[in-house]
Amino acid sequence: MKAFCCACLLFSLFAVQSSTLNAATKDSSTFGITNYAFASYIGTGFYSTSGQDVFVFQLPFKHIIKQETVEEAGWRLNLPLTLGFINFSGLDSEELPELDDVGTITFLPGIEYRKKITSDWTLIPFADYGFARDFNHTNNVLIIGLGIKSYVNFHTEDGVLTLGNRFLYARESKEEAESNSDYTRILTGLNYRFDQQARVAGGDLGINIYYANYYYPDDLVFLDRTTSPVRVGYENELGFTIDNISNFLFFSELQLGFGVRFGNDIRVYRLLFSAPF
């Protein structure tokens, strides 16, 4: 449960930090990359549209309760901690976000039931329940998420092609019932892992390239609290990851990667610390 302890420690740190925000920050608008309550589902990245930029950073803590096998199902506890940085104006290294720029925090624990239907096909129903806090307006929001993931591997001469699918429905609940909102996403992704690996510092690093399509049945509103919101029905993403990286900090199954997501008048530069989908 080391990951759980780290998540709690970081939450305490930022809860204390929020009390030191100055009055000017308190009066500013929360970043509007969709509803901040659902920040855990959009992932780490720089989000840019209509001349505005924000940065979302996620620490994807998890704990394997029981590893799945072909014979037996497994369980995994997810403990993602997600921070939304406001007052952030770009990718210039001289203007990187600082702790004083933290505008929101989301802690969304979840449980996964992982069942191998065959050696190459895994189904994963999941449920999440947590909360988000808007430091600028001292709002707390409860979040519930339900869905299912599917991963199917196809072996080729040079590697493994993985077809990934995910259906997600989430709902956030505020004190004012009329302001509650829903979030639905259907994801389809392809990941190709090359058999030929790069040998670095005595280890073999796996190389992956991927494509993902995100479909929002009810449209997704980006920058919804600004004067120029953008409605997105779908997005596409291309990128790469490197896996088999030795244990690093809190990450036991670290993948590092970079992706670019694009949709209707929006650009997303994603930083990956785990599988892309």
DSSP result, 239-273: EEEEE-PPPBTTBSS--EEEEEEEETTEEEEEEES
- State the pLDDT at residue 2: 46
| CATH number assigned to the domain with residue range 2-272, chosen from the 4 options 3.65.10.10, 2.40.160.40, 1.20.1290.10, 1.10.1330.10 | 2.40.160.40
- State the pLDDT at residue 149: 98
Compute CA 33 distance to the chain's CA centroid, rounded to the nearest angstrom. Answer: 13
119 pLDDT band (50/70/90 cuts)? very high
pLDDT at 91 over 80: no
The residue among 3 and 40 whose pLDDT is bigger is: 40
Q: Are 67 and 253 in contact (CB under 8 A)?
A: no
Least confident of 121-135, 179-193, 209-223: 209-223
- State the pLDDT at residue 147: 98
Average pLDDT for the chain: 78
- State the pLDDT at residue 115: 98
pLDDT at 131 over 80: yes
Closest CA to 58 of 44, 47, 79: 44
Q: Which two tokens stand for residue 110?
A: 């979840």
Distance, in Å, from the CA atom of 144 to the CA atom of 108, rounded to the nearest integer, reads 8
pLDDT at 133 over 90: no
pTM of this prediction? 0.80
The residue among 94 and 203 whose pLDDT is bigger is: 203
- State the pLDDT at residue 5: 45
31 pLDDT band (50/70/90 cuts)? very low
- Cβ neighbors of 162 (< 8 A, separation 6 or more) are 151, 152, 153, 154, 189, 190, 191, 192, 193
9 pLDDT band (50/70/90 cuts)? very low
pLDDT at 48 over 80: no
pLDDT over 70 for what percent of the chain?
68
Taking residues 51-70, report their average pLDDT.
86
Taking residues 180-203, report their average pLDDT.
82
Domain boundaries, the chain: 2-272
Taking residues 73-100, report their average pLDDT.
71
Where is mean pLDDT largest: 37-46, 134-143, 236-245? 236-245
- State the pLDDT at residue 55: 84
pLDDT per residue as tens digits for the range 153-173: 999 999 999 999 999 999 988
224 pLDDT band (50/70/90 cuts)? low
Closest CA to 30 of 145, 174, 130: 174
Distance, in Å, from the CA atom of 190 to the CA atom of 186, rounded to the nearest integer, reads 14
For Cα atoms 244, 248, 251, give the angle at the middle one, nearest 5 degrees. 80
Q: Are 141 and 173 in contact (CB under 8 A)?
A: yes
The residue among 168 and 25 whose pLDDT is bigger is: 168
Least confident of 61-70, 108-117, 215-224, 235-244: 215-224
Query: How does DSSP classify residue 1?
Result: -
